[in-house]
Chains A and B, each alone.
Chain A
Amino acid sequence: MGSVSTYFENVKNAAVTIFEGMAVTLSWMFRRPITIQYPDRTPEPVKDTLPDRFRGILEVHIPACTACSACARACPIDVILVETQKHPSGKGRLLMRFDIDISKCMYCGLCTEACPTGCLRHTPVFEATGRDIHNLVVHFVDGPVVPYKHKKGRPVPASPPPGDIVQALLKPWDAEYVAWSPGEFVERDAGGGDGEKGAASPGKVEGGATGSGSG
């Protein structure tokens, strides 16, 4: 009876191969588990285990930013907003606003490659959330600042460890949304800013949205 023997052949095959598969599964019971309980029981913070090139949330080290807008132009989806203005003294420019919308960014890295001073970089920070999505727009400058001017042979201002800047600027998840308004102009002795020493009469910043004019 061919069909009967095929039937039992099938049953035998199924039993044997299932047993074999189960043996494999069982053997994994005695190997080291690879599962990690995220986020509260990781052996070390995930942030510290990430490779150097990890493309996390962007941050910009303002004291080294030349306000050249190369990053904003490189971004295919207009995540970065760089606003500059003429310096009130008529010489040079002021960096008025530097926003990165981390809820919109796709972490492609094109902007960081365009940055001439390397002040814009990806960080190992990857956890950010907010009840209001507008809170995920990170404002890197509070008020107008004199952009960095690069001079040959001089090192770019040293920056804190990656992640520190943006971590400090991220709001708690349940923070109320408050619209950003530019603060007041502060003279800053950053890198090449000294080229325009004294030029910045802190008085009025043309078109500065606050209109406040104290120093």
Chain B
Amino acid sequence: MENALNKQAVSDDLMILNMGPQHPSTHGVIRFVITGDGEVMQRAVPHVGYLHRGIEKLAEGLPYPSFVPFTDRVDYLAAMFANHGYAMAVERLLGIEVPRRAEYLRVIVSELNRIASHLIGVGAMAMDIGAFTPFLHGIREREKLNDIIEELCGARLTYNYIRVGGVSFDFPQGLDAKIRAFLDTFEPLMEEFDRLITVNEILVKRCANVAVIDAETAKSYGLVGPNLRGSGVDWDLRRDLPYSAYPDFEFNVCLGRGFRGTLGDAYDRFIVRVQEMQESVKIIRQALDGLPEGEIKGKLPRKLKPAKGEAYGAVESARGELGYHVISDGTDKPYRVKIRAGSFNATSIVEHASRGLMIADLVVLIASLDVIAPEIDR
């Protein structure tokens, strides 16, 4: 990657500004080198790699099931999806069937996790723009979700819950009722959250028409998830490449519609996340109602030794398609694991989307993309 700091000629009157890597609104350790003409950016070049831990490489030295706790660290705000994608890829590789109950449990925890992640996403976006209170409201609700998931699997962030072949724990006594109680209180609180910030004129003015990404550009940069849907592209893996138990549920795919400005602006991406939380609530209710009885873990051989071959498993994570490409060479350790994460592509569009933006709007752009550093670098 070229280094804008070194390369820029000093003579053309452009200002070079460094933002990050330790900057509160870069959502982790990402660095942006901004070339600006006064307040207007010519471009902001993201420099990634500060959080690279070589997770993909680690996979090559570990037996298949032992890699699951490492996938938690791919996306620590939505670790269920990271578990799920890997488990799915390995299951496809092995050709094993997952019990229905396990699939339902997976959907429930994933959607709970999506709510938790989006709460941080929208809360942090509001905070970056200058409204601190909504973030605390988001954190408060997320804390309840953490408690629920902690009761289920014993951990609050790095769950290691969705395993190859199923899930690790069944619902403990009374958790079903607890989740329902949470959903009942969450819905009115969501309305309150909307009154608190979503309709707030200052937020709207700050986000509407800012950092517009049109559908074509979004697709060409490989944006996924809420960022893609915010640009009006109707694509959701849960519906379009159905996996797990999602075909059993009814839900809407939320799209940006230029709610208060142009289609694909920062406000659209914000709204898409807010609406997706409501859809998740619907899915969880349906899954709890239809939760089948039965096993939670499929029949697995003691040692997982898939035949030579490769498989790809992708889930619609809170940040879009999170895919694992696992190649087996016939031993009990993967030959290669490649992780495809939405945040990486979302970061790559920053250089394009920041052209002509005010410097102050860069945080709006970054926050609206809801990128998370560990997922960029892995």
Contact = CB atoms under 8 A, between A and B. Distances in A.
B180 interface: no
Given A106-B158, A109-B154, A122-B154, A51 B172 contact: yes
Contacts of A74: 66
Contacts of A106: 69, 158
Nearest to A76: B66
Given A13-B201, A25-B133, A107 B158 contact: yes
A110 B202 CA distance: 49
A108 B172 contact: no
Contacts of A50: 150
Nearest to B147: A51
A83 to B, nearest CB: 22
B169 A108 contact: no
B195 A24 contact: yes
Nearest to B133: A25
Contact of A53 (B152, B202, B205): B152
B182 interface: no
Contact of A109 (B140, B151, B160, B196): B160
A17 B158 CA distance: 38
Contacts, number: 75
Nearest to B151: A51
Given A51-B150, A55-B155, A106-B158, A18 B69 contact: no
Contacts of B195: 20-21, 23-24
Majority SS of interface residues in chain B? Answer: helix
A53 B133 contact: no
A110 B199 contact: no
Interface in B359-378: none
Nearest to B155: A55
Contacts of A52: 172
Contacts of B172: 51-53
Interface string A1-21: 000000000100110111011
Interface in B151-198: 151-155, 158, 160, 168-169, 172, 192, 195-197
A157 B322 CA distance: 45
B201 A51 contact: no
A54 interface: yes
A108 B158 contact: yes
Interface string A103-128: 00011111001000000001000000
Contacts of A107: 155, 158
B30 to A, nearest CB: 24
B200 A76 contact: no
Given A17-B199, A76-B66, A109 B168 contact: yes
Given A13-B201, A74-B66, A76-B69, A54 B196 contact: no
Contacts of A18: 200-202
Contact of A14 (B140, B152, B153, B202): B202
Contacts of A175: none
B251 interface: no
A50 B153 CA distance: 12
Interface centre among B65, B66, B153, B154 (most CB of A within 10 A): B154
B201 A10 contact: yes
Given A108-B69, A110-B65, 20 more contacts: A10-B201, A14-B205, A17-B199, A21-B200, A24-B195, A51-B150, A51-B154, A53-B151, A53-B153, A54-B150, A55-B153, A55-B154, A76-B67, A106-B158, A109-B154, A109-B155, A109-B160, A109-B168, A110-B66, A122-B154
23 contacts: A10-B201, A13-B201, A17-B200, A17-B202, A18-B200, A18-B202, A20-B196, A20-B200, A21-B196, A21-B197, A23-B195, A24-B196, A53-B169, A53-B172, A54-B154, A55-B153, A76-B70, A107-B155, A107-B158, A108-B158, A109-B154, A109-B168, A110-B69
Interface of A: 10, 13-14, 16-18, 20-21, 23-25, 34, 50-55, 74, 76, 106-110, 113, 122
